[in-house]
Amino acid sequence: MGERIAQIHRKTNETDISMTLDLDGQGRADIHTGIGFFDHMLNSFSRHGFFNLEVSVDGDLYVDCHHTIEDTGIVLGDAIRQALGDKKGIRRYGSSVLPMDDVLVLAAMDLSGRPYFAFDAEFSSQRVGDFDTEMVREFFYAVSYSAGMNLHIKLLSGDNNHHIIEGIFKAFARALDEATGFDPRINDVLSTKGAL
């Protein structure tokens, strides 16, 4: 089995992003997006999914945080898809119900190649640090579509905005770790069609 690592550089007029993702890592992260709370979330994603992740973003933060967060989501989805390759031997499905203090979050995914995104969570504040809470939906929409992933995220209970967002990132990480992991019973791809 080869290494499952993707290295991506994406530059537009709004953002310049470099990312390296290793799906079979130890949870080592080196994250610099210019948005402190977003760095905290990507560190949590790396740590709790055991992914090694290096991210450097030079975004148009003088506008707002939108392009920086959305484009990082696009690149992370691309990196996941590239690192997965032909998806031979992986579990394909992953889910996590994750508690964080007052919050309980559900994340479930199917690495089917067919993007679908369902998001059911509301926030009572517009911002956590310099991170606009409405960008949580935008980020995971971008990830799911560029990864070709069916992704469902649902807030089951709780109301602290920092905890809700962090719980979502951790639940997503754990679900992705499960879905990208190998099952020795799966020799080819887990699909009756023969391809994912």
What is the closest distance, in whole angstroms, from the C-beta atom of residue 128 to Mn ion in the complex?
A: 9
Q: What DSSP element (H or E) covers 56?
A: strand 52-59
Region from 13-21, 90-98, 152-160, 161-169 binding Mn ion, contact rule CB under 5 A: 161-169
What is the closest distance, in whole angstroms, from the C-beta atom of residue 27 to Mn ion in the complex?
A: 16
Comparing CB distances to Mn ion, the nearer of 4 and 48 is 48
Residue of this chain nearest to Mn ion (CB atom): 166
Comparing CB distances to Mn ion, the nearer of 39 and 166 is 166
Amino acid at position 192, single letter = T
Region from 22-30, 102-110, 137-145, 158-166 binding Mn ion, contact rule CB under 5 A: 158-166
Q: Are residues 88 and 26 in contact, defined by beta-carbon separation less than 8 angstroms?
A: no
Comparing CB distances to Mn ion, the nearer of 47 and 91 is 47
- Fill in the DSSP letter of residue 4: -
Could you tell me which residues are beta bridge partners of residue 154? 106, 120
What is the closest distance, in whole angstroms, from the C-beta atom of residue 166 to Mn ion in the complex?
A: 5
Region from 49-57, 72-80, 108-116, 163-171 binding Mn ion, contact rule CB under 5 A: 163-171
What is the closest distance, in whole angstroms, from the C-beta atom of residue 7 to Mn ion in the complex?
A: 28
Write down the residue that tokens 């996941």 correspond to. 80
Tokens representing residue 33 in the block: 């997006």
Alpha carbon distance 171, 44 (integer Å): 10
Comparing CB distances to Mn ion, the nearer of 121 and 196 is 121
Region from 8-16, 102-110, 130-138, 164-172 binding Mn ion, contact rule CB under 5 A: 164-172
β pairing state of 150-157 and 116-120: parallel
Q: Are residues 140 and 73 in contact, defined by beta-carbon separation less than 8 angstroms?
A: yes
Comparing CB distances to Mn ion, the nearer of 96 and 150 is 96
Q: Are residues 94 and 84 in contact, defined by beta-carbon separation less than 8 angstroms?
A: no
Alpha carbon distance 37, 33 (integer Å): 9
What is the closest distance, in whole angstroms, from the C-beta atom of residue 100 to Mn ion in the complex?
A: 8
Interacting residues with Mn ion (CB under 5 A): 166
